[in-house]
Structure 1
Amino acid sequence: MFRVSFLFLCFLLLVTTTLALTTNFDIDFASRSSSGKCNGSLGQCDLDSEFLLDSEVSRRILAGTSGYISYGALSANRVPCSTAGRSYYNCRGSGAINPYTRGCGRITKCARDTS
């Protein structure tokens, strides 16, 4: 039994080394350019697309907005909404300032008045 398993392991070792020596491991880790291949180093090839996602997202966000901050927002000691607890986006709105609509649970322990 030992001899059969030893011969089987030797056979597997021989097969794997033969495959490893005959297989061409030409792996191209460099990113492809529009022409198909990059002739530079890995860092040089990847430089063009390294920050593409972040800059593309930022560019689209800025393109959708006006692209500047108003002078009123830059003035010192100016609070956008002087009403305490009111949202900056709905400063003059009516209704409850911060309505609490969650139910009573284990985490809140019914600490807030939900009426």
Structure 2
Amino acid sequence: MLKIYHNPRCRKSREGLEILKSSGKDFEIVEYLKEPLSEEKLKEIIEKLKIAPIELVRKNEKVWKEEYKEKDLSDDELVRILVNNPRLIERPIVVTDKEAVIGRPPERIEKLI
């Protein structure tokens, strides 16, 4: 089943959600700011995305610039930071059983479904 990690306040995330709705496929919405991800779940998503954890970071966010930007962080430290600061996670993320995409631009989601 498809799953979208969604932030309703984000325009790109809302656009991604509309793509899923218009696809006619069943999907689950996870508002990850309300339902925080575990480290294990986030690592699973990163693996499906086939990216390094740093590629999932929203680097223009104030908390990143002020607290983490200049630090040399390991992948495990980055995952912990993302779990503890979910606003830093790029969005939306759409996941299937085998793969995932970051919906930026939202059209990437269409290739997954």
Task: Give the TM-score range, shorter chain.
Answer: under 0.3
* TM-score, normalising length: structure 1: 0.19
Q: Which has the higher strand share?
A: 2
TM-score by length of 2: 0.19
| Greater helix proportion | 2
Higher-Rg structure is 1
> Which has the higher relative contact order, 1 or 2, with Cα contacts under 8 A spaced 6 or more apart?
2
